[in-house]
Amino acid sequence: MTSTTPEPGKLRIALIGYSFMGSIHAQAWTTAPRFFDLDVVPVLAAVCGRDQEAAQSFADKFGIGRVETDWRTLVADPDIDAVDICAPGNLHAEIAIAALQAGKHVLCEKPLANTLAEAEKMALAAEEAKALGALAMVGFSYRRTPALAYARELVRDGRLGTIRHIRASYLQDWIVDEDFPLVWRLEKDKAGSGALGDIGAHIIDLAQYVTGHRLAGISALTETFVKTRPLAGSSSGLQALPGLETSSGPVTSSSAETSSGLRAQGPDMAERGAVTVDDAAVVIGRTAEGALATFEATRFATGRKNAIRLEVNGSLGSLAFDFEDLNELWFHDHTDPAESAGFRRILVTEPNHPYAGAWWPPGHGLGYDHAFVHQAADFARCIARGEQPEPSFAEGLQIQRLLDAAETSAANNAQWQDVTAGA
């Protein structure tokens, strides 16, 4: 089946999931056509979630006219052009493959899948669908941060020379409390992996995106510091942090359950379940081009909420990025005289910086949500022009191979794993 466009000039989107990611994707779709020329107007035609009442409330908030509780209904509907998947990882493969086979364009949140086998099936489905006009992209949104997109340009233009070192970290602390409940992100059957796949995938993708290098081999260690946690419906009295949600809404001590449906029996009883993913991961690697790379991803860095850092060192210079100052890029030109050389701050808000020209006057910075607007704009433009949006499912598969290799390495005492791109 080929993709249809029932309303010329419009891209009718079905959003699957309506919690944290669903909200920011919905905002992005509604904002993108107001600031970017897209060749097609994205329209949020429907939202899907398990809870009819909660999904309706979400739809009312974002002006979405249709609510469904079964994603299959939307995938089969010829009036839907694209499916945006913001559900937990265990649902990605089934939804994406069905949507592509139905001729829908697909945007799928990262990581692409929970397992390498699922990712391979998704990439194959995307390749087959592409021949029939349906296009797919995986949502590594941080690529669209202007400072990081500009960093990529500096590397591409040779300003850093030969890349020798890549180091990246992604630090959070939202589960430091040992009585934080067992939400779905801590269950392997739903999340695939823990910090490794959830946030480690981002910095691995960013490192490759900015430098153009591909990791050819890695070694990894992972650790689960807290082995058991109160079941999400138990009487621990804890509330989930913003954004740490199930696909049907926020996890709270009064309303949420684990997939088993077990709940504590009594005000002082907090049944605990096993944490089946990693809390932290450390990865070292070597790129096919000869650079050394280090990565750290953790949810146990006390005091760090969403701290992302990337530094790249080359023969002619270096660059450094800190997400807590996301409108800034630090650049060192090693060809400058020693007496005046050093890192200098670049405020990435000029009209000729990537994406920045669509927004505010120079010096008026952007935020976390803008990267999702840029992602929506890029996706819509590519769909309108029949061009493959990036990153493709094939790129998402390459990241999945690295995540799989990291898990294998960690399970074998940091044993080195060769990773052949495209294998």
Residue 189 forms part of a structural domain: yes
> How many CA atoms, within 13 angstroms, populate the side-chain half-sphere of residue 197?
33
Residue 358 forms part of a structural domain: yes
Same domain, 222 and 356: yes
CATH number where 30 lies: 3.40.50.720
CA separation for the pair 67, 15 (Å, rounded):
10
Same domain, 84 and 33: yes
Torsional class of 53: left (φ above 0), alpha (ψ -120 to 50), beta (otherwise): alpha
CA separation for the pair 327, 350 (Å, rounded):
10
CA separation for the pair 96, 177 (Å, rounded):
35
Residue 134 forms part of a structural domain: yes
Question: Per DSSP, what are the bridge partners of residue 252?
Answer: 239
CA separation for the pair 224, 81 (Å, rounded):
41
Residue 247 forms part of a structural domain: no
Q: Report the relative pairing of strands 136-139 and 105-109 from DSSP bridges.
A: parallel
CA separation for the pair 403, 114 (Å, rounded):
10
Residues 6+ apart with CB under 8 A from 161: 314, 315, 316, 317, 334
Count helices and strands (H / E) in the chain. 11, 19
DSSP run (H or E) holding 105: strand 105-109
Q: What global pTM score does this model have?
A: 0.90
Q: Tell me how far CA of residue 58 lies from CA of 18, 49, 74, 248, 297, in angstroms.
A: 7, 10, 17, 11, 32
Domain count, the chain: 2
Residue 297 forms part of a structural domain: yes
Tokens of 371: 């990267």
Q: Are 296 and 223 in contact (CB under 8 A)?
A: no
pLDDT at 7: 67
CATH number where 184 lies: 3.30.360.10
Same domain, 159 and 124: no
For 157, other C-beta atoms within 10 Å of its C-beta total: 8
Same domain, 133 and 161: no
Q: Report the relative pairing of strands 307-314 and 317-322 from DSSP bridges.
A: antiparallel
Query: In degrees rounded to 5, what are phi and psi of residue 400?
Result: -65, -35
In the listed set 123, 142, 161, which residue is the last one of a domain according to the structure?
A: 142
In the listed set 90, 110, 142, which residue is the last one of a domain according to the structure?
A: 142
In 3D space, the residue among 336, 416, 327 whose CA is nearest the CA of residue 364 turns out to be 327
Alpha-carbon dihedral 325, 193, 254, 301, rounded to 10 degrees: -40
The full length of the chain comes to 423
In the listed set 142, 159, 176, which residue is the last one of a domain according to the structure?
A: 142
Q: Are 226 and 175 in contact (CB under 8 A)?
A: yes
Same domain, 288 and 313: yes
Same domain, 118 and 49: yes
Same domain, 310 and 206: yes
Same domain, 184 and 307: yes
Q: Which domain holds residue 309?
A: 146-228+277-325+327-366+400-418
For 324, other C-beta atoms within 10 Å of its C-beta total: 11
Return per-residue pLDDT of the chain as tens, 423 residues.
444 445 679 999 999 999 999 999 999 999 999 999 999 999 999 999 999 999 999 999 999 999 999 999 999 999 999 999 999 999 999 999 999 999 999 999 999 999 999 999 999 999 999 999 999 999 999 999 999 999 999 999 999 999 999 999 999 999 999 999 999 999 999 999 999 999 999 999 999 999 999 999 999 999 999 999 999 765 433 333 333 333 333 333 333 333 333 333 333 457 999 999 999 999 999 999 999 999 999 999 999 999 999 999 999 999 999 999 999 999 999 999 999 999 999 999 999 999 999 999 999 999 999 999 999 999 999 999 999 999 999 999 999 999 999 999 999 999 999 998 554
Q: In what order do the strands lie in the sheet with 163-171?
A: 343-347, 328-333, 317-322, 307-314, 163-171, 292-298, 280-287, 215-223, 417-418
Same domain, 286 and 169: yes
Same domain, 35 and 128: yes
Same domain, 206 and 308: yes
Residues 6+ apart with CB under 8 A from 222: 194, 195, 196, 278, 280, 281, 282, 406, 407, 410
Same domain, 18 and 70: yes
Residue 315 forms part of a structural domain: yes
Query: In degrees rounded to 5, what are phi and psi of residue 295?
Result: -140, 140
